Amino acid sequence: RSSAGDSRRISGSEYGPPLYSCTCSSSSSSSSYLSMAAMAVRTAAGVLCPLYLTSPYQDTDHKLLPSSFCPGNKRTGIYCHRRLLLLRSPGRHLQAASQGTERTPVVSEPEDHNPPPVGRIKKPLQKIELSVSSYDTAWVAMVPSSISAKNPQFPQCIEWILENQHPDGSWGPPYHPYLMKDFLFSTLACVIALKRWNLGEEHMEKGIRFVLSNLSFICDEKQHSPTGFNIIFPRMIEFAKDLGLHLPMSHTDIDVMLHNREVELERATRSSSKGAEAYLAYVAEGLDRFPEWEMLRKYQRTNGSIFDSPSTTAALLTHHWDVKCLEYLSLLVQKFGNAVPTRYPLDILARLRMVDCLEGLGIAQHFRNEINSILDEVYRQWLQGNEEINSSIATCAMAFRLLRMHGYKISSGFLTQMDEDFFYSSLEGHLDDINTVLELYKSSQLKFPTEWFLDKLNFWTSNFLAEKISNIRMGESLEEVDYALKFPSFANLERLDHRRNIKHFSIDNFQTLKTTYMLCNIDGKNVLDLAVEEFNKCQFIYRNELEHLQRWIEENRLDQLNFARQKLSYCYFSAAATLFPSEMSDVRVSWAKNGVLTTLVDDFFDVGGSKEELINLIQLVEQWDENYATDCFSEQVKILYSAVHSTINELGAKASIVQKHNVTSHIIEIWLDLMQSMMRETEWMQKKIVPTLEEYLANGYVSFALGPIILSTLYFVGPELCPDIIKDPEYHKLFKLVSTCGRLLNDIQTFEREDKEGKLNSVSLLMLQGDRFMSEEGAKKEIRCLIKSNREELLKLVLQKEGSVVPRVCKDLFWKMSRIVHFFYMSNDGFTSPNEMVSAVNAIIHEPI
């Protein structure tokens, strides 16, 4: 930076992943900057290499210059930033790439199998940096001065345009093969801005050549289309011709553009909805007749902008002078270094997306402090009625979802207005914004009891998304929608979610409004590398734990119990898929061992044991004697009790160390309650007693056998659970709610089989004991309503802080188990099926990414 404060940037063609640009303190010409850069830069190995700006050439041996290797050099005045700078080893030849309609990426990052330090991801979370927009900067550059209409109000934006043209003549974001419409959009806008002030003749000529040679992309359906492209681009063509620019175009290109424009304008103008009106205001720079100020005033934010859009605001300022608009644009030009982003502010939505991304990839545990800090700030803004949250449906929905899931006291009241009519009266509604509806759909699943509106929200958003999937050819964007509909948040498992998100993660990390934008200080490759490494590292631990558990089964001869289902892989999978952090090994092992034992005991009471053997097993647990060999009625009882006895003692001893008091007796009590409830069901069967539905559920939630799995494992999670917490009604209610959900879900999926076998089931009891004749489907429908109400009550109990005595980390286990039982019994009895869950088990435990 010179003494005059002039800062000039040398930018190459923004092809490939984010690289670098230089800021030079010299006031010399651009060629001098290049010479300095070519002489001054060293590679990571310390070898001098010539420096070249990226260009439309393919380089067979190129390297990247990490920012950590190139600090500011006070002697040369060169500073490297995360933009675009390409290093090429000396002696290699450049091969000319095609100059036609398709541009070839020239940069590929070197493979790095070692993940970057977590710190390199943490730092950018503290301050989100948005990329600048050539398109919006061009419109700001067109604003005439308040003093003289013959001069620009923001000459520094003109300078930025002159300094940031790509070698192929275009302006726009980093290269991506599906962003050619964005390049056309930005390039034409920049050419018009230069012509508006008769500057940069050579730049204009190169820009026009680029536009004319790439017009064929207008008809390419694979291309991402900026919002309003079909309306604004043809109008810019007319504007350019009015300014005297020569744009020879074929009749075909003209016909296509005019047809697309007429179709979109007709759709907007024939609609009387507020959404269509908002859309026309948003794309005002593309209309033949600029809207009246009174029409646009209703969309002005408190920051002075129109829709937080610099281009729309600049277009308005060109036609109607407004001090607030001027202040908004002046702030942006100063803040972003002579350019502007495509939307501002965007800080809250960008931060929420980062939190959602880190959690979705399974690496949030590394950034817990940063995430808490972000959510604390968003919560403060929510309570203050922040306009950035309230003016965006997607931001509001995501903020609600993340804040509620993290235990903040947040009302769904603001979402009550977001019905279908409200959506279609908004800009997002006119654009049929699938991502916005998807956010609303996800938020609607976090319903507490009595929040009836969220049921309505869930109904219309799920129908909207399902219709889009059926009517639109399936693409990657709709794959996420399809997944969300198949696996709602209460019925998916975190680790499966992580794997899918990792596989579909895009390091490009761009979003599209009027132009593409991204978080330029967040390196997607760093995030992805960390997620993959974390997943595979944990998977290695899971396989070791599973081998340990297999030895435990063999040592205890549990594999010799031929009457029983051998479900070790499923039991351990349910632990690994939800209790996934590597440090939770004891938690997973306790969960899996108790899961295996409860399955064996359930089968023993169900089909494997005689009445005498069942009574004998319960007596052995009641006595809990070390010398039990001679007291066992049979070899089956001996194997089963021996395994239960040794395992409870082992886990109880470990848990007692964690809890700093003896908990083994409580674990024995949990097991005894389970066996007694199973015995009661056996007696009902033997004596042909038909209990009422209330009696069945009062016993059935215990006999569903989640007690030993959840309640025993709670002792390994971390917090000390004193006897007062264990006796508290909240503790018992959490267990009853999740167990009732599990029992009822199981009953729906096993009804046909159990009905044939003459076994008790809530569906059959409801059909028998209802006030009126009830069909099977009617009974199942009523049971599903009961499941839903229990699940909603459980979620509220898990998330609420006021009056809660059970630590949140412990309450989470109840919710995780609820997700597991919903997942296993979503479409059939997935736990009993020998093949239903095999692919899921392999994905979490055996198949690395």
Q: In this structure, are residues 527 and 367 in contact, taking their beta carbons and an 8 Å threshold?
A: no
8-10/94-96 β-pairing: unpaired
Asked if residue 103 belongs to a domain, the reply is no
Report the pLDDT averaged over residues 809-818. Answer: 98
- Residue that has been written with the tokens 């013959």 in this structure: 150
Q: Return the pLDDT at 128.
A: 81
Q: Note whether 180 and 220 are within 8 A (CB).
A: yes
Q: Quick one: 544 and 510 in the same domain?
A: no
Quote the pLDDT of residue 475: 56
- Domain boundary among the residues 307, 335, 363 is at 335
Same domain, 304 and 381: no
DSSP 130: B
Residue located via tokens 């997935």: 830
Whether residue 606 sits in one domain with residue 741: yes
Say if residue 684's pLDDT is above 90: yes
Same domain, 628 and 707: yes
Least confident of 119-123, 163-167, 336-340, 601-605: 119-123
Helix (H, G, I), strand (E, B) or coil at 29: coil
Q: Which domain holds residue 683?
A: 534-846
CA atoms within 13 A on the CB side of 342: 23
What would the pLDDT profile of 703-714 be if each residue is shown by its tens digit?
Answer: 999 999 999 999
Cα 99 from Cα 210, distance rounded (Å): 9
pLDDT in tens, 135-172: 999 999 999 999 999 999 999 999 999 999 999 999 99
User: Residue 817 is which amino acid?
Assistant: M
Secondary structure (DSSP) of 506-564: -TT-EEESSSEEEBTT--HHHHHHHHHHHHHHHHHHHHHHHHHHHHHHHHTTGGG-TTS
Q: Which DSSP state fits 222?
A: T
The pLDDT mean for the chain works out to 85
- Tell me if 440 sits within 8 A of 398, measured CB to CB: no
Q: Are residues 662 and 587 in the same domain?
A: yes
Query: Is there a single domain that holds both residue 624 and residue 727?
Result: yes
The per-residue pLDDT for range 163-207, each reduced to its tens digit, is 999 999 999 988 888 899 999 999 999 999 999 999 999 999 999
Q: Are residues 449 and 420 in the same domain?
A: yes
Q: Which of 798, 690, 686 is nearest to 738 (CA)?
A: 798
Segment 829-842 mean pLDDT: 81
Token look-up 């030079």 returns 24
Domain ends where: 526, 549, 582? 526
- Per residue in 641-680, pLDDT (tens digit) is 999 999 999 999 999 999 999 999 999 999 999 999 999 9
Both 513 and 541 in one domain: the answer is no
The lowest-confidence range among 34-48, 112-126, 518-532, 758-772 is 34-48
Based on the domain organization, do 547 and 522 belong to the same domain?
A: no
Q: What is the mean pLDDT of residues 503-519?
A: 84
The reported pLDDT for the residue numbered 32 is 36
Percent of the chain residues past pLDDT 90, beyond the cut: 69
**Cα distance between residue 378 and residue 370, in whole Å:** 12
Q: How far is CA 99 from CA 55, 96, 168, 615, in A?
A: 11, 8, 8, 85
Residue 306 lies in a domain: yes
Residue type (1 letter), 692: T
Asked if 282 and 228 touch (Cβ cutoff 8 Å), the reply is yes
**Helix spans in 132-179 (H):** 134-141, 155-163
Contacts for 673 with CB less than 8 Å, ≥ 6 apart: 702, 707
In the sheet with 78-81, reading across from the earlier edge strand, the strands are 8-10, 21-24, 78-81
Query: Is residue 807 scored above 90 in pLDDT?
Result: yes
pLDDT above 70 as % of the chain: 85
| In a shared domain, residues 142 and 243 | yes
Nearest to 364 by CA among 239, 480, 536, 527: 527
Same-domain check for residues 716 and 630: yes
Between 120 and 49, the more confident residue is 120
Q: Residue 219 contacts by C-beta under 8 Å, 6 or more apart in sequence? A: 256
We report the CATH number of the domain holding residue 356 as 1.50.10.130
* pLDDT tens column, 43-68: 333 333 333 333 333 333 333 333 33
With tokens 């699940």, the residue in question is 791
Cα–Cα–Cα angle for 480, 485, 490, rounded to 5 degrees = 105
Residue pair 157/141 in contact (Cβ under 8 Å)? The answer is yes
Asked if residue 122 belongs to a domain, the reply is: no
**pLDDT 10s digits, 657-667:** 999 999 999 99
Q: Residue 440, SS3? A: helix
Residue 414 lies in a domain: yes
Contact assessment for residue 806 and residue 730, using Cβ atoms and an 8 Å cutoff: yes
Residue 100 located in a structural domain: no
Q: How many residues does the chain have?
A: 849
Q: Taking a C-beta distance cutoff of 8 angstroms, is the pair 113, 50 a contact?
A: no
239 inside domain: yes
* Separation between Cα atoms, residue 836 and residue 677, nearest integer Å: 29
Q: How confident is the model at residue 383 (pLDDT cuts 50, 70, 90)?
A: very high
Last residue of a domain, one of 499, 526, 553: 526
Residue 538, in any domain of the structure: yes
CA distance 407 to 427: 31
Q: List the CATH number of the domain containing 292.
A: 1.50.10.160
Does a structural domain hold residue 288?
yes
Looking at the structure of the chain, the number of domains it has is 4
Residues 375 and 516 in one domain: yes
Q: Which of 144, 568, 470 is nearest to 329 (CA)?
A: 144
